[in-house]
């Protein structure tokens, strides 16, 4: 865990007094925090504590939930992403997302990775070919699929599909990557591969990862935020959170007394 490097990095995402409501129900209560660039920030907490909703604020995927309402600000590089002038499609090309269950398109491996670029308007075959290879290499999947790029993505194993989804997200060259429990549907070996991958990726990308698995958070992240019932209980260096937590609630969660 490169903690020392993390302290020097500048702020990438600023969350200021965020409250999130789905209709009458309030799922996030007055959370403020700053996420530094090019480190891995993990969000842990029991089910229903608002981690996924929080993550989805950053790429505005909550917009699709019809009774979603938010108060407060989310700033990326100092700019409010909910401002009227913001084109949400461009935001999502800056902020990529990997979902809990691998969801490749029912198309070939090549088509999956190239899709993000094609909708940006890239048509030249050579550019697409290079981008597909680069992304698949970054996702540590290239060697396994380079002979069969036109095979259907659905024929890959679960772990490979998830790495494909990561490659797909990386192809549009975002600066931030949101990962919502990316390994929870996978076997231990695939999980290990994904964690290694995350470790490599943080040299280039700012990564936010939601995880149910505390040990995973401990392994891959530089900073950890512990959420409970929509509130931010504690946020700090991962090492400190897990070895000397400041809040009682944090300690109880870490030691498995609830959640």
Say whether residue 64 binds other proteins (CB under 8 A). Answer: yes
Say whether residue 11 binds other proteins (CB under 8 A). Answer: no
Q: Of 121, 125, 156, 126, which is closest to residue 139 (Cα–Cα)?
A: 156
Q: Of 82, 97, 87, 77, which is closest to residue 12 (Cα–Cα)?
A: 77
CB nearer other proteins, residue 107 or residue 137 = 107
Distance between CA atoms of residues 189 and 209, nearest Å: 19
Question: CB–CB of 80/163 below 8 Å?
Answer: no
- Footprint (CB under 8 A) of other proteins, residues 132-161: 152-155
CB nearer other proteins, residue 130 or residue 155 = 155
For the chain, report the end-to-end CA distance as a whole number of angstroms: 25
Smallest distance, other proteins to C-beta of residue 54, A = 16
Residue 154 Ramachandran class (φ > 0 left, ψ -120 to 50 alpha, else beta): alpha
HSE, CB side, 13 Å, CA atoms: give it for residue 112. Answer: 30
Say whether residue 61 binds other proteins (CB under 8 A). Answer: yes
Smallest distance, other proteins to C-beta of residue 19, A = 24
Binding residue for other proteins, selected from 44, 141, 165, 201, defined by CB under 8 A: 165
- With 0-12 CB in 10 A as exposed, 13-18 as middle and 19+ as buried, what is 203? exposed
CB nearer other proteins, residue 49 or residue 165 = 165
Stretch that binds other proteins, among 75-83, 96-104, 190-198, 245-253 (CB under 8 A): 96-104
Interface positions with other proteins (CB under 8 A): 59, 61, 64, 89-93, 96-97, 99, 101, 103-108, 115-116, 118-120, 152-155, 165, 168-169, 172
């Amino acid at each position: 865990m490169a903690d020392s490097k993390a302290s020097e990095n500048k702020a990438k995402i600023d969350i200021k007094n965020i409250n999130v409501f789905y209709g009458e129900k309030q799922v996030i209560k007055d959370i403020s925090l700053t996420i530094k660039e090019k480190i891995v920030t993990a969000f842990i907490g029991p089910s229903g504590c608002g981690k996924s909703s929080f993550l989805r604020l950053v790429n505005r995927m909550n917009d699709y939930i019809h009774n979603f309402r938010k108060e407060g600000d989310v700033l990326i590089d100092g700019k409010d992403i909910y401002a009227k002038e913001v084109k949400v499609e461009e935001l999502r090309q800056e902020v990529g997302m990997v979902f809990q269950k691998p969801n490749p398109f029912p198309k070939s491996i090549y088509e999956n990775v190239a899709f993000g670029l094609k909708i940006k308007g890239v048509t030249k075959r050579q550019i697409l070919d290079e981008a597909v290879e680069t992304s698949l290499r970054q996702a540590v999947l290239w060697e396994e699929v380079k002979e069969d790029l036109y095979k259907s993505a659905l024929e890959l194993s679960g772990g490979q599909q998830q790495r494909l989804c990561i490659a797909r997200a990386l192809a549009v060259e975002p600066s931030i990557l949101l990962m919502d429990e990316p390994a929870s549907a996978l076997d231990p070996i695939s999980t290990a591969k994904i964690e290694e991958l995350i470790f490599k990726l943080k040299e280039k990308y700012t990564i936010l990862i939601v995880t149910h698995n505390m040990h995973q958070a401990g392994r891959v992240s530089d900073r950890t935020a512990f959420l409970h019932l929509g509130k931010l209980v504690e946020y700090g260096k991962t090492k400190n959170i897990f070895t000397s937590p400041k809040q009682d609630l944090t300690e109880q969660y870490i030691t498995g007394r609830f959640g």
